[in-house]
Amino acid sequence: MTARSIRIECLRYDPATDKEPRWQGYDVPYEDDTSVLQGLQYIKDHLDGSLTFRWSCRMAICGSCGAMVNGVPELSCHTFLKDYAPGPVRVEALENFPIIKDLVIDQTDFLNKLEAAKPYLVPKEERTLAEGAYNQTPAQLAEYYSYAQCINCLLCYAACPQYGLTADFMGPAALALMHRYNTDSRDQGWEARAEVANAEEHVWGCTLVGYCSEVCPKSVDPAHAVNLIKLQSAKDYMQPYAQRLKKVLPL
């Protein structure tokens, strides 16, 4: 039986030596369970050791191997070559990020915005180890559990036109993780996050295209998280007016 092969075209770019990106094609053998990531590994191991890309777990958990596959943000370990037969398959770095080399992007902007979102618990009360764990009901866990599945793969950033157009926009994953902690029954961090969330270029910068939720490999639904933060933000905005009305209106 003749082995099947498919052509993978990679966008190659090294800012240190190249004036502009270029496409380079490779013929790669594949079977039904060969992922795009395995195709890239075959190229690096057997055809061209200079091809540069990130990967780690190969199980759609670490989020390292995100790339544009035929123009769609995908985890390359979770995407299979057979679905693109007869080819070619075009693989390039995630959109909206500077390229370090080939398929490797510079994540600095995202990491700075993630830090600004304060994605950690700010407890309602300090407890010592001797006082035991913070207990939660299953219902309280369910409130934020889906948002806690984010693996920071940045597919949603590549899918977000607003992030590509507006440098100051915080972006889907950082806002979804902000909501994850805002919703946690053990947290009292909204005050610490409110200034960042309420800024026009942050939660209100989202134009609700919704493509971020479509490409998320973990069904986090960042678009829904952004809507819920907007609701809290709107309450913050209206609270001073409500307090004034209470003073002037008769009971």
Q: Which helix (H) or strand (E) holds 215?
A: helix 211-215
Rounded CA-CA distance 239/121 in Å is 25
Residue-level pLDDT at 246: 62
Rounded distance, CA 150 to CA 85, Å? 30
Q: What is the pLDDT of residue 1?
A: 47
pLDDT confidence of residue 133: 85
What's residue 232's pLDDT?
83
Amino acid identity at 159? A
Q: Would you state the structure tokens that stand for residue 219, as one six-digit string? A: 């069904």
pLDDT truncated to tens, each residue of the chain (251 aa)? 467 999 999 999 999 999 999 999 999 999 999 999 999 999 999 999 999 999 999 999 999 999 999 999 999 999 999 999 998 999 999 999 999 999 999 999 999 999 999 999 998 778 888 988 888 999 999 999 999 999 999 999 999 999 999 989 999 999 999 999 999 999 988 888 988 888 877 888 888 899 999 999 999 999 999 999 988 888 776 665 555 556 666 65
Structural domains in the chain? 5-105 (3.10.20.30), 108-245 (1.10.1060.10)
What's the DSSP call for residue 97? S
